[in-house]
Structure 1
Amino acid sequence: MPPQDRSAGRTEESDGKALSTPPVRQVLSASVYENIKAMVMDHEIAPGARVGIDALSRTLGVSPTPVREALARLEADGLVVKRSLSGYRATELLTRRGLEELFEMRLLLEPRATALAATNATEEQLDAIERIMEEMRTLPGPTGRYADYRDFAALDQRFHDAIAAASHRPLLADAVERLHSHLHVFRLTSAKVAEDPTLAEHERVVRAILRRKSDRAAEAMTEHLTLSLQRQLRHESAS
């Protein structure tokens, strides 16, 4: 009987461990990211407050490494900022002027992206946009704490990003994606109504895209963004 190649067995075993390690680490990293994001969204970490890596590590019971990775992702989201010598801080809430400027940019970019999507979207992309809408219909709107509306907010972002991607203009799609960062904070403070109008506004956009009506699609997106801004400004005035 030929001798067993034990080194091969060890290689397979070690390879197996190597393959199993990244998913475990990815799950931990994602969990830490979501936990810290919830703290920022719910203002448990106050706007403008310092975000301590060591303190978060102790609070979450993890090493500093996944905390650093999470903060890097949150910086890309626009929810924290990193400053030399002082570390990370939670992003300040947008002022009224900042909110208006943010929507001004969205109104310049997204109606155009939506019109192009009505013309250029593939059947697969149209199906994907419809699936996002179907998922959104099953979820509660943006009320309560972040944990209650996290999935709705994520789908809302996917909806806008999917439309921009369907424009088949990569630079335009990238610009649209980068404009969502501060909106999640404002979702927490938006008016809490029994029937949020976001879905109905989205459905008008989707109907126009599916019918390949580029002008109507752009109008529907303009209407949605304008009404969304008005809702935010009403809340800002009332608070």
Structure 2
Amino acid sequence: MRAGRRILTEDVYSAIQALIMDHAVAPGERIGIDALARRLAVSPTPVREALARLESDGLVRKRPLAGYTATPLLTRAEFDELVEMRLILETAAARRAATEVAAGTVGADDLSRLRGEADLPGATPDATGFAAIAAFTAQDARFHHLLAEVAGNRMLHQAVVRLRAHLHLFRLHFPTSHYGVSTAEHHRVVDAVGAGDPDDAADAMRAHLLAARERHLPFFEGP
């Protein structure tokens, strides 16, 4: 694939992702490839490629003879299940990463990378909707995915990545209280991992995930 084609496909992917995250394409709405291509002033090919990626992200669904639709929002029960899975997987990842540090198999470079990703950005200036939080969302995901990678278990890392938790949660609701607070919670996880303390690392990750859960709960308490 030529560089220009890669850039176009990435731009189309980002544009459709934003439409779905901002509900400009409503949850459950059918997505017509030709209509979307006209809307974005591109050919149908990069739209098809972008939709295939978004299907793997869990943001769209493809059904035989029916085409693509935007995935419905998480229900309260699905939200609780997602949090439960994150607690199982990500506390295990934090515990294992700390164990690897204590064993000397995780070095200063990996810890430095983790600290860098822990510092989450604020809202993007002069942007609205998903564009304002896209950088935060991407870096938040990178932090959690990198921690799972540092843990040294490939299947555990893949399971954390496949959850696509950040896209699903921030499509639901973005509490502004995440700013600053999530960074501090991330650093407590990294401090415990860096100290090689598996119990503290697991506890810090659990506390972070449960606090994030509380920040999202008001979404389910409305009408």
TM-score between both structures, scaled by the size of structure 2: 0.90
Using the TM superposition, give the Cα deviation of residue 122 of structure 1 relative to its aligned residue in structure 2, in angstroms.
3.1
Q: Deviations over 1:158-214 (max 9, x none)?
A: 000000000100011111111125x32432523334855211111111111111111
Give matches, 1:6-45, under 5 Å.
22-45=2-25
Query: Is contact 1:122–1:166 with CA below 8 Å preserved after alignment?
Result: no
Aligned to 2:117: 132
Query: Is contact 1:115–1:214 with CA below 8 Å preserved after alignment?
Result: yes
Query: Which of 116, 120, 132 is the matching residue for 1:148?
Result: 132
Give matches, 1:1-239, under 5 Å.
22-120=2-100, 121-134=106-119, 136=120, 138-140=121-123, 144-181=128-165, 183-188=166-171, 189-193=173-177, 195-238=179-222
Query: Is contact 1:41–1:146 with CA below 8 Å preserved after alignment?
Result: yes
Structure 1 spans left out of the alignment, 5+ residues: 1-20
**Distance in 1 between residues matched to 2:148 and 2:29, nearest whole Å:** 34
1:237 corresponds to which letter in structure 2? E
Give SS of 1:197's match.
Answer: helix
Aligned to 1:13: none
* Alpha-carbon distance change, 105 to 145 in structure 1, aligned in 2, over 3 angstroms: same
Query: Is contact 1:30–1:70 with CA below 8 Å preserved after alignment?
Result: yes
Mean Cα deviation higher: 118-127 or 75-84: 118-127
Query: Is contact 2:17–2:54 with CA below 8 Å preserved after alignment?
Result: yes
Give SS of 1:81's match.
Answer: strand
**Distance in 2 between residues matched to 1:28 and 1:63, nearest whole Å:** 10
**Distance in 2 between residues matched to 1:51 and 1:194, nearest whole Å:** 31
* Alpha-carbon distance change, 235 to 148 in structure 1, aligned in 2, over 3 angstroms: same
Using the TM superposition, give the Cα deviation of residue 140 of structure 1 relative to its aligned residue in structure 2, in angstroms.
2.6
Structure 2 spans left out of the alignment, 5+ residues: 101-105
Q: Deviations over 1:113-133 (max 9, x none)?
A: 111111223332212111212
Aligned to 2:103: none
Aligned to 1:10: none
Using the TM superposition, give the Cα deviation of residue 96 of structure 1 relative to its aligned residue in structure 2, in angstroms.
0.2
Using the TM superposition, give the Cα deviation of residue 234 of structure 1 relative to its aligned residue in structure 2, in angstroms.
2.4
Query: Is contact 1:47–1:91 with CA below 8 Å preserved after alignment?
Result: yes
What percent of counterpart residues are identical? Answer: 42
**Distance in 2 between residues matched to 1:193 and 1:212, nearest whole Å:** 29
Query: Is contact 2:8–2:46 with CA below 8 Å preserved after alignment?
Result: yes
Mean Cα deviation higher: 33-42 or 210-219: 210-219
**Distance in 1 between residues matched to 2:99 and 2:178, nearest whole Å:** 35
1:46 corresponds to which letter in structure 2? A
Mean Cα deviation higher: 93-102 or 121-130: 121-130
Tell me the number of residue pairs that the alignment of Structure 1 and Structure 2 aligns. 215
RMSD: 1.8
